């Protein structure tokens, strides 16, 4: 056999192993509930080896890992998933984002200064409990540029630990397999079958939903921990970090020794770490920089103007906030399509990628009557969504506090989508690729015939520019139709706010472990890498 054939065989066996390792469904695993308490039932003062702020995507993975050897307290402002049944099923995935935010709902909504509506998790399991479920590992360049000296073996083991617990492979839905065909026809090749790795071409990837539509978010990673060492407090809102200047020490170094949090009755609790223990922020890309700022760690001008005493100055806290822009079209399907969350990913060689969804419009949605003469019933139609995102991105903005005392108030965030011309060029190429996808045979059945006998798509919302060779029309489309892929990250970058071991620079006993440390969004979708990082 030639070397090439051997390599090919090896590659095929690899693909096959990925497939074999992945179940298609599994029951919910609520064992972690044994370790969950409402904060009102916790003492006003206690001590642990580690305190993790935020029981989110990274936080749950990290808590399970540390609990093998240490006592761990997780403080999560939201409630348990069973308190919000819609988060547990794929059918509820989009309703989380439409739901009115009453301060207790599992998705805290915010609007960036860019004018784009966005959301973040406020629930045990974090944003992994309100997301679309796509699971895909990071690209090699992510590790190379991350500022962290990764141990590749540990990285792989950590991904596998996550995957054997909450990641599934099941048959593609009707829409997802049509979309896969269309991507291949449009030249997003090769067909990489089912694959969790980041490789150019079209692939089916993993999901934290199983084939029955059950969500297995990061919360189920808690089950892999030593539950007797783990205490998870829900409805525990951390207000700030407690610091001590160790005056007995020669260098009088600044040390984080605990946190202050409030319960749902408004009572204040103090949790401390034992000697050599640590406070670890896993409050997400919005929550972690916000907590550092509220605790007096950040740029002096901002802290001073808000009358927050400066504990440690660092101009970079809250800087380099970035988000993958989303540009999409929604095709009104002439026939009923089963709803589907993302299973198929098209990765081009031009630093952009395409993902798809199918969904029915919720009845409560304002109905644009008259727009869709050829659809089934205007009260119940299916939509096929094709979205493009750019990798990275290179553009970034910043975050600053809107309130100097109330952690429940979302900070002000700006992502500056397409500020960098390279991002804009990548978007133009990606949108052109969506144009190619729309020209495929695979999508022909989605066209309807108008009164003049012309066949065309009916779109809900924006359609692509008519002249897709016209760069300025395409650039305008990118800017004007931009929404979010919800992959915002940054705010506590490695080398700027934390060191390569994720310790907050200049402070002992304090780390940040979540998406806020990333200088780019890993792979096509970040959650795989966020959970790997926690592990
Ligand atoms: C709608 C949506 C769809 C998405 N789709 C996908 C997808 O399909 N695939 C994918 O890979 N990624 C997806 N993402 C992105 C992905 O889910 C996030 O990048 C990832 O979950 C972030 O993890 P994290 O640990 O950094 O933060 P989070 O998971 O958000 O965790 C932060 C936690 O900290 C808690 N917290 C914050 N402040 C405090 C405080 N002061 N006190 C106590 N607790 C606090 C929060 O309640 C939350 O639970 C999506 C995100 C959203 C919002
Ligand atoms: C998935 O597809 C395979 C092959 O077509 C089929 O045998 C199997 O029954 C399908 N499983 C489900 C759950 O639909
Ligand atoms: C303070 O510093 C001294 C001397 O370095 C050390 O022995 C002691 O453990 C430190 N205390 C804390 C709370 O870190
Ligand atoms: C809408 O269509 C779906 C899929 O066929 C069906 O399950 C649902 O019952 C329909 N709803 C209404 C109100 O007709
Ligand atoms: C489309 O745009 C290109 C580039 O601007 C231009 O050369 C071409 O004439 C346009 N085509 C049409 C039909 O307008």
Atom 12, ligand 2: which residue's CA is nearest? 171
Number of the ligand closest to the Cα of 232: 1
Instruction: Assess contact for 238 and 407: CB atoms under 8 A.
Output: yes
Instruction: Assess contact for 292 and 64: CB atoms under 8 A.
Output: no
Cα gap 485→325, rounded to integer Å: 6
Residue 2 in contact with ligand 5 by CB distance below 6 A: no
Atom 11, ligand 3: which residue's CA is nearest? 246
Q: What is the DSSP letter of 371?
A: S
**Total domains in the fold of the chain:** 1
Number of the ligand closest to the Cα of 24: 2
Distance from Cα 173 to the centre of ligand 2, integer Å: 11
Q: Which of 26, 168, 171 is the best mutation target for the ligand 2 pocket, counting ligand atoms within 8 Å of the beta carbon and taking the most?
A: 171
The predicted pLDDT at position 360 comes to 84
Q: Mapping DSSP to helix (H, G, I), strand (E, B) and coil, where does residue 32 land?
A: helix
Residue 336 in contact with ligand 4 by CB distance below 6 A: yes
Residue 211 in contact with ligand 2 by CB distance below 6 A: yes
pTM of the model: 0.93
Sign of CA dihedral 66, 69, 70, 75: positive
Beta strands in 325-408 (DSSP E): 325-332, 344-347, 352-360, 382-390, 397-400
The predicted pLDDT at position 142 comes to 98
Any domain includes 514: no
Residue 466 in contact with ligand 5 by CB distance below 6 A: no
Q: Are strands 352-360 and 344-347 parallel, antiparallel or unpaired?
A: antiparallel
Number of the ligand closest to the Cα of 172: 2
Cβ-based burial of 473 (10 A; exposed 0-12, middle 13-18, buried ≥19): middle
Distance from Cα 245 to the centre of ligand 3, integer Å: 10
Distance from Cα 278 to the centre of ligand 3, integer Å: 14
The predicted pLDDT at position 143 comes to 97
Domain that holds residue 448: 170-207+325-390+419-481
| Tokens found for residue 8 | 């090919």
Distance from Cα 429 to the centre of ligand 3, integer Å: 57
Any domain includes 469: yes
Residue 363 CA: which ligand 4 atom is closest? 13
CA 400 to chain centre: 21
Atom 15, ligand 1: which residue's CA is nearest? 487
Any domain includes 435: yes
Any domain includes 190: yes
In this structure, what CATH number is given to the domain that contains residue 370?
A: 3.30.410.40
Question: For residue 488, which of 359, 344, 392 has the smallest C-alpha distance?
Answer: 392
The predicted pLDDT at position 15 comes to 47
* 77-80-81 Cα angle (round to 5): 125
Q: Which of 428, 465, 467 is the best mutation target for the ligand 5 pocket, counting ligand atoms within 8 Å of the beta carbon and taking the most?
A: 467
How many other β-carbons are positioned within 10 Å of the β-carbon of residue 33?
16
The predicted pLDDT at position 4 comes to 53
Q: What are phi and psi of 306, to 5 degrees?
A: -100, 5
Cα gap 98→106, rounded to integer Å: 11
Atom 10, ligand 4: which residue's CA is nearest? 380
Q: What is the DSSP letter of 340?
A: B
Any domain includes 278: no
Residue 260 in contact with ligand 1 by CB distance below 6 A: no
Between helix 421-438 and helix 174-185 the angle, nearest 10°, is: 110
Q: Which of 51, 221, 283 is the best mutation target for the ligand 1 pocket, counting ligand atoms within 8 Å of the beta carbon and taking the most?
A: 283
Cα gap 97→25, rounded to integer Å: 25
Any domain includes 13: no
Distance from Cα 128 to the centre of ligand 1, integer Å: 6
Number of the ligand closest to the Cα of 255: 3
Residue 171 CA: which ligand 2 atom is closest? 1
Q: 């009453």: which residue's tokens?
A: 102
Any domain includes 187: yes
| Tokens found for residue 85 | 């049944």
**Cα(first)–Cα(last) distance of the chain, in Å?**
40
Q: Are strands 397-400 and 412-414 parallel, antiparallel or unpaired?
A: antiparallel
Instruction: Assess contact for 158 and 535: CB atoms under 8 A.
Output: yes
The predicted pLDDT at position 387 comes to 97
Which residues have a Cβ under 8 Å from the Cβ of 484 and sit 6 or more positions away? Answer: 112, 116, 117, 118, 323, 324, 325, 326
pLDDT in tens, the chain (535 residues): 455 555 455 454 444 444 456 899 999 999 999 999 999 999 999 999 999 999 999 999 999 999 999 999 999 999 999 999 999 999 888 888 878 889 999 999 999 999 999 999 999 999 999 999 999 999 999 999 999 999 999 999 999 999 999 999 999 999 999 999 999 999 999 999 999 999 999 999 999 999 999 999 999 999 999 999 999 999 999 999 999 976 665 666 899 999 999 999 999 999 999 978 999 999 999 999 999 999 999 999 999 999 999 999 999 999 999 999 999 999 999 998 999 999 999 999 999 999 999 988 754 343 444 444 344 445 568 899 999 999 999 999 999 999 999 999 999 999 999 999 999 999 999 999 999 999 999 999 999 998 899 999 999 889 999 999 999 999 999 999 999 999 999 999 999 999 999 999 999 999 999 999 999 999 999 999 999 999 9
Question: For residue 284, which of 150, 73, 110, 433 has the smallest C-alpha distance?
Answer: 110
Q: Which of 248, 257, 508 is the best mutation target for the ligand 3 pocket, counting ligand atoms within 8 Å of the beta carbon and taking the most?
A: 248
Instruction: Assess contact for 223 and 273: CB atoms under 8 A.
Output: no
Number of the ligand closest to the Cα of 382: 4
Question: For residue 412, which of 321, 486, 498, 485 has the smallest C-alpha distance?
Answer: 321
Residue 140 in contact with ligand 5 by CB distance below 6 A: no
The predicted pLDDT at position 451 comes to 85
Distance from Cα 387 to the centre of ligand 1, integer Å: 21
CA 246 to chain centre: 38
The predicted pLDDT at position 379 comes to 58
Residue 121 in contact with ligand 1 by CB distance below 6 A: yes
Distance from Cα 331 to the centre of ligand 4, integer Å: 18
Cα gap 18→169, rounded to integer Å: 9
Any domain includes 9: no
Atom 4, ligand 3: which residue's CA is nearest? 249
Distance from Cα 513 to the centre of ligand 3, integer Å: 25
Q: 């108008």: which residue's tokens?
A: 450
| Tokens found for residue 20 | 């074999």
The predicted pLDDT at position 162 comes to 98
Q: 């050829």: which residue's tokens?
A: 374
The predicted pLDDT at position 22 comes to 86
Residue 470 in contact with ligand 5 by CB distance below 6 A: yes
Cα gap 54→401, rounded to integer Å: 19
Q: 């504990």: which residue's tokens?
A: 311
Distances, alpha carbon 161 to alpha carbons 15, 269, 515, 532, in Å = 18, 34, 19, 8
| Tokens found for residue 360 | 């029915």
């Amino acid at each position: 056999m030639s070397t090439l054939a051997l390599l090919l065989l090896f590659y095929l066996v690899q693909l096959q192993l990925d497939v074999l390792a992945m179940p298609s469904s599994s029951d919910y695993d609520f064992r972690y509930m044994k370790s969950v308490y409402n904060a009102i039932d916790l003492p006003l003062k206690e001590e642990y080896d580690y305190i993790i702020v935020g029981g989110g995507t990274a936080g749950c993975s990290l808590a399970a890992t540390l609990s093998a050897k240490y006592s761990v307290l997780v403080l999560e402002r939201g409630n348990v998933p069973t308190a919000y049944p819609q988060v547990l099923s794929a059918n509820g995935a989009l309703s989380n984002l439409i739901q009115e935010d009453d301060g207790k709902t599992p998705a805290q909504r915010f609007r960036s200064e860019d004018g784009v509506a966005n959301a973040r998790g406020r629930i045990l399991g974090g944003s992994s409990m309100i997301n679309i479920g796509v699971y895909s590992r990071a690209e090699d360049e992510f590790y190379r540029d991350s500022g962290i000296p990764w141990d590749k073996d540990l990285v792989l083991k950590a991904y596998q630990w996550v995957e054997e617990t909450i990641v599934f492979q099941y048959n593609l839905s009707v829409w997802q397999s049509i979309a896969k065909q269309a991507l291949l026809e449009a030249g997003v090749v090769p067909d990489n079958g089912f694959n969790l790795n980041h490789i150019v071409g079209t692939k089916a990837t993993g999901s934290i939903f199983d084939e029955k539509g059950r969500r297995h978010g990061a919360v189920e990673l808690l089950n892999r921990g030593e539950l007797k060492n783990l205490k998870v407090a829900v409805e525990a809102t951390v207000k700030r970090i407690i610091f001590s200047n160790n005056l007995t020490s020669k260098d009088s170094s600044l040390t984080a020794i605990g946190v202050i949090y409030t319960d749902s009755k408004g009572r204040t609790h103090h949790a401390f770490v034992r000697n050599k223990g640590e406070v670890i922020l896993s409050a997400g890309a919005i929550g972690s920089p916000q907590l550092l700022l509220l605790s007096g760690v950040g740029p002096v001008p901002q802290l001073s103007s808000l009358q927050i005493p400066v504990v440690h100055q660092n101009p970079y806290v809250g800087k380099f906030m970035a988000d993958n822009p989303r540009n999409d079209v929604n095709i009104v399907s002439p026939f009923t399509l089963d709803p589907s969350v993302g299973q198929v990913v098209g990765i081009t060689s031009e630093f952009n990628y395409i993902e798809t969804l199918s969904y029915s419009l919720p009845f409560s949605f304002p109905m644009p009557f008259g727009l869709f003469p050829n659809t089934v019933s205007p009260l119940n139609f299916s939509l096929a969504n094709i979205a493009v995102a750019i990798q990275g991105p290179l553009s970034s903005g910043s975050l600053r506090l809107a309130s100097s005392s109330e952690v429940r108030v979302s900070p002000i965030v700006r992502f500056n989508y397409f500020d960098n011309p390279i991002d804009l060029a990548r978007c133009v190429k990606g949108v052109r690729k969506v144009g190619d996808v729309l020209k495929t045979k695979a999508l022909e059945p989605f066209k309807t015939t108008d009164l003049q006998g012309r066949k065309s798509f009916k779109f809900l919302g924006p359609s692509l520019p008519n002249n897709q060779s016209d760069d300025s029309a395409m650039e305008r489309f990118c800017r004007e139709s931009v929404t979010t892929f919800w992959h915002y990250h940054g705010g506590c970058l490695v080398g700027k706010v934390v060191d390569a071991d994720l310790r907050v620079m200049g402070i002992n006993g304090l780390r940040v472990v979540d998406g806020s440390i990333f200088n780019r969004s890993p792979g096509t979708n970040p959650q795989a890498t966020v959970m790997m990082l926690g592990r």
